[in-house]
Structure 1
Amino acid sequence: MMEAKISMILLLSFVLLELFGCFVQGLQCWSCENADSFEHCEEIGKFEECNPSQRVCGMEVRKNSFQQGGKIKVFKFCKQREACGNVLNQNDKSAVEVTQCNPKSPNSVCRCCCEGDRCNVGELQCLKLEKEEEGHEVIEPPMTCSPMMEGLENGEVRCTNGSNVASVCRFFCSVGFYIDGSHVTICHPVNSLAKWSDDAPVCRRSRCYPQRPLSHGNMKCSDEDLYGSICKFSCDDRYQLIGEETSVCQADSPGSRYGVWSTVGQFCEINRCRNELTSPANGTILCSDRNNVGSVCEFQCVDNYQLSGSRYSACQKNDLDRPPTWSELTPNCERRQCRNMPPRPVNGHISCSDEKYINSICKFRCDVGYELDGESQSVCVSDGSYKKFYGEGGIFWTNQSPTCKLKKCQAVETPQNGYVTCSRENFIASTCNFVCEKGFSLQGASESTCIIKKNGDEVTLEWTEESPTCEMMSCPTINLKNGLVDCSNNFNVGSECKFACTANNYMLHPSTATKTTCKSDGNWQGEFPCCSRPCPPFAVVDFVVVLDSSSSIGRENWPVMLDFLNSIIDTFEIGEDAANFGVIRYNKEVDTASIINLNKIQDDKTMLKELVSNLPYDGTGTRTGHAMKYAYDFMLSTEVGNRDFAADVMLVITDGRSQDNVKIPAEEIRRRGILTLAVGINPGTGRLDLEQLETIAGTPKRVFIVEDGFSALTPEYALKVAKSICPSPCEN
């Protein structure tokens, strides 16, 4: 018994799942034609989407005559429910041999239908196939329940497989009706018969809860409180209906026993205007009898506000079909205002604190370069004691708009012995030009323009330049350093000035420039001289000499080189305002122990020459580039006597080719503004490198080649080298 119940539960679950799939999508049936067997039908067939009118799946099994081999043919398809009922009835109708559906006989035709998505797949439950001993197939019709569940008044029935065993039929009522009975019945076998699990239910009309009685009124319903009934409401005299005039009993939800009224809460109220009027914003209201018929309400506004709308409104009774209404809507209290804004002044602006409302203050200002002519502000007032402008209806502006007129700069001062002409009458952008009389020169700007000047929020008009003066014309002041200028009439036009040098050892250059005259155009005639000293012996220079003491010089030639250097020193005066000398000797290294710095001997030429004569000689190698860099780094610095006002000179004396790079230090030295010279002594062995010497000096003009060797290092040759460092006379 328990196993039968479990089988039934599983069967119901399967049927319900199939039924749910049918509702989710359109019906699908297996389709094939003229198949030789059920297996062949599955091989050649496919699922077909049925059209909406085809609600069941069908199948036919035909058996041919013995002459045709007695084989079966299988057909599967979509079918209309009514057509399916017709063909099922033909199974039991008479034929040549007992019935049309008789699988034991040839020419048999058996038909079957089922409800549910894809229900005709495989060998249908409605056709049972058995094998006879001789091998022929036997087809028996399926068991069915009776009666067929074909229709439901005020509803419908949906079955998964018609009236066949295991078919599940569900019942649905139309809107406004509910099921009285079971919602589902199942066709299941009982012994040798098939029987429905429940009888078909009845669809009964839904009912709404009764409406509440209407006090002081009447309610009439078309069909009591049943679904679809319409109730109409009306009130007694002197009362009005509040709410909708009708209410309909409607369905609450599909299949619900109870309905709902479309409207509820109607009641009869004594005649009055539905809403009490409220006071307007910034105003008050006073009513004689609240919102009852005949009540009159009066509206008033607070100070500085006025009514926009009617002052009074009455609650009036209308005809019987309409409730009482107020004669007027609540008015607005609008702020009082002057009708027109003061006009904006031309070339000016206006800004108001509260537009054109009462007590608004409008202030006027002019564009830059303009000034107000009139009052700077105007107030919107209602006091009649004010002067009235741009107003009416008792509200006025206190002042009319001012005008903006152009500002002027103050008149410029005309220079004595001159005159001035101005454009635009001293208004903005006016330009004044100043001219002096003949014989006078303009001291100051020749023109001045009237411009706008801002200082914080203050704006003023000013001239770009002060008025100039006209002074008697003169030539530029003459200064003669280390000399005297003696003029007949100062530096005025026509004055003659004579020049003379007063400092020791200084003389005029050029020597012919002894005087000059101030011409009428304010320029001096001719060129100015300078007071200069002859070079040599006078030259304001810091002179650093770099001596080659390599083994190629030879001990016997070393004194000759030192005497040559002393001859160069002899050509110059030494001192604070003259030349200073520094000397280093080098080979592959710099001899730092014997260095003579610029500040070591600055005023005693004899002692300086003695230090030079005592310079030692030793060493090998020739690293001229290294020695030049050392001289620049350590001998031309302020710590050892280098003077800012003196020219810097570096002289290299060598007889051989440098073993290191001289280009980099030489270019760096010249980039620092130091004059470089080179004296190359030809030793006769071919080791002198002219190109390298030119690299050291920077130009062939500052390279001196002693072709005849050390014997040619004479005082005369020393003078030639010394003169090459002399600047132009007026620079010395």
Structure 2
Amino acid sequence: MKLSTVIFLLVLTFHLSRALRCTVCEGTPAKCKGTETQTCEENQVCRTDYFYRQNGYPRVNKRCQLRSTCENEKKKHYKKPFDRRDQEKRICCCGTYNCNSEEHYCRGTLPTKCTRLKIIRNATGKFDCKDTNKRLAGNTCTMLCKDGYELEKNVFQCISDDNPDRIRKPRWEPPLANCQLIVKCPFFKAPANGNKTCTNPSPYPQKVPFKHTGTTCNITCGIGFTRDGPEVVECTRQDGKGVWTQIPKCVPDPRCAEFATDPNRIDQCTNGEEVGSDCSFACEESYELDGVEQIQCASNGGSPRWTDDPPTCKLKITCKPERFDIENGRVSCNDTNMEYSVCAFTCDESYDLSGTRSNTVETQCMGNRNRVGRWTRRAPTCVQIRCNPPHTDPSNGEVSCTNSNIFKSRCNFQCNDGYDLVERNRITSECQDDGNGDAVGQWSHSAPTCGKNTCEDIFGPELNGDISYSDDFNVGTIMTLTCNGGYSTKDNKAAVCLPIDRSIGRGEPYWNVTEDVCCVACGKNQEVLVVSLIDKTAARNEEDWVNISNWQSEFMTYMYRNGYNIRYSVVLYDDDIDETNSIPEVYIGGIAGRDLLFQLLRDDIQSKPHFGGTSSDTEMALAYVRDNIFEKYNRNLEPYLYVVKRNGPVTDASEAIAREIHDIGDGVNILAVGVGEYTARPTAYEELTKITRNGQNAFMIADNDARDPAQRADTIAINFSCNTAGPGKSCPLR
């Protein structure tokens, strides 16, 4: 006894020492489930308020509250009807750990059983339940009535709502009711020409088969008869008696009236004049329907009637002629010569419809009020396509055509001797269809003109050489100039006779040369100005620089040995002018000229390794020598500009400056040498000619050139010096 008391006190002490914690939240039921908890004070319990807002959504409020307050407010709201209005609430109070954490009730407070089953009047007094615990939610029970009594439904189930938005006690459904005295309906026979089939949903069919309340009978009628009344008859309770609802009759099927026949009409009906019969109509040949093609016999809740009047057949309207035939054309009709038939006219190839600019015209058969048909237009005619005006012989030539100016005729043009067609693409012209349907075609080419096919003899004789021709001044003739020893051409060694080109204002054949063609003596004992403009990036290492200086040496040595007195300058550049290492003007001539030249090349060029630049600005370098040397040079000197280039393209601006230098004074002779990888550029040679304005003064020397640098420089110097006319020289012809 003492031991039990001690254990009880320990358990009570432990329970009291553990503080009560409750869920605290306000919001929707789902949001407040499993949220944070709060420790309650002494004499407080967990409380949940469940209610609806005006928008119809449920809300809860969970918190700690004094036990007496919670219980009092719970009693105030317990018996009130519960609906979705703000003022109506359900309140639960509980005192165990976190007992208000459920969505809308407190654990241990929601009823789980239905009300106690009561003995109902006129029953056997026994419920037959599936579960021994009869009031448990989900259990079903069956009630039996005494003999002569019945229940509308005798199976009851204890229902508990699963919807968390509602709080209702478990309840019996359907609600419990007393057993009522069984009533019977009088027997009735199936209607004449019909049948009945009855069913009895009562739990007591063996006692009053097919007569008590709830019995239903389906009524059907035989072939040729229709039910007049409802399909289902039911035994109902009225004032304590059994009464059948309306019992229908089977009456003969109704029919539509027989419609009049038409001797030219073909009638086809699915079921004669019976309701639902469909009748379709067609006419004999040469006749057409006047009215609808189909009607139906329909009752529509009243006497059966046809949905429309049957049609009649009338003789078709036709037009004359019955068919069209057009020469050199075709006609197609969609319904021969019947009313509304459309006929389309088209012409064969090389023909067009007369009187229209269209390739197709149409006519239609239309009937008037007297049912007489007429075509809307007459049949057109097809005329042959011709090109106007016909081709005639050109001046200094003639034309021949295969078929005058008729469609597909081909006309060939040729010129008289001494003349050629100016427009080479117009040798043949064909008459073609322009597609606008007006019977007028167009020539594929206009008539060409015949022009002279020889160039004028403007050359020769040449005193210091010989001129030869590949042909007798005809277009394509090549003129070749060969100079005597000690003489050379200035710019051109050959000329070509070109054909007429009106796009550039050439109305007759012409020679392609636009500058002097003559032989002039190579320079002797002349004083010249030579400026070497060297791209420092042309030398990647000391060996490259020595090669470049060797080219300079050979070039200058050739000029000196051939009697030129030289005023020589070297301008070095990459992305800027290298004024420190550039060589100002020095004079190389007379007896001491050779020694001075060798000293210059040895001490001032080869001894200074000017190489390795990263980029070059040719435009800037050309502008420098233009402004600081050639604009200021002595006009009695023959000026030369020697450009060595390895890096970067020749821009349009560079080309423009080179042209300005070329045009200074009597003209500056420009030589350009491309070296190294610059020669690999696809447009390198064309870029150099932008500087020189003469293809013979542009040279390409790759890094892997096998020739000796001296040999290469010697060749360049010879070409350069002999491609120019010295001071005081002039050419006899322009």
Where on the TM-score scale, by shorter chain, does this alignment land: which range? 0.3 to 0.5
TM-score (norm 2): 0.37
Tell which has more relative contact order, 1 or 2 (C-alpha 8 A, sep 6+): 2
Highest CA radius of gyration, 1 or 2? 1
